[in-house]
Amino acid sequence: MDQETLSHALKIFEVPEPLPMDQLKERYQKLLWMWHPHRNASLTNNPQKYMEMYKKGEAKTKEIHTAFRILKAWSENSRDQLPQTEKGSSDPES
């Protein structure tokens, strides 16, 4: 995963750096709720505008899903790369 892809995903989630997984899931749910196509389109009574806004909501939802997958993969990869401490060791330097 390149830095540009990660930066784009962070921009979609409107955060400066990757979040812990629980906060990431919370942000993901809020963004999906905000951009859900039916919710987004229901903000107008104009049928033509409705379809326009529905399609915009669909596109944004797809972007959010993709960004979440990228950030989730980044989170899992960076967690795997962290040094593991031995069980029972209270001093990380020993």
Q: How many CB atoms lie within 10 A of CB 53?
A: 19
Q: Where are the domains of the chain?
A: 11-79
Residue written as token pair 């009574």: 45
How far is it, in rounded angstroms, from Cα 92 to Cα 94? 6
Judge whether residue 29 has pLDDT over 80: yes
pLDDT digits (tens, 9 = 90+) for 1-28: 678 899 999 999 999 888 899 999 999 9
pTM: 0.76
pLDDT digits (tens, 9 = 90+) for 32-90: 999 999 888 888 888 889 999 999 999 999 999 999 999 999 988 876 554 444 444 44
Tell me the angle at which helices 3-13 and 21-35 cross, rounded to the nearest 10 degrees. Answer: 60
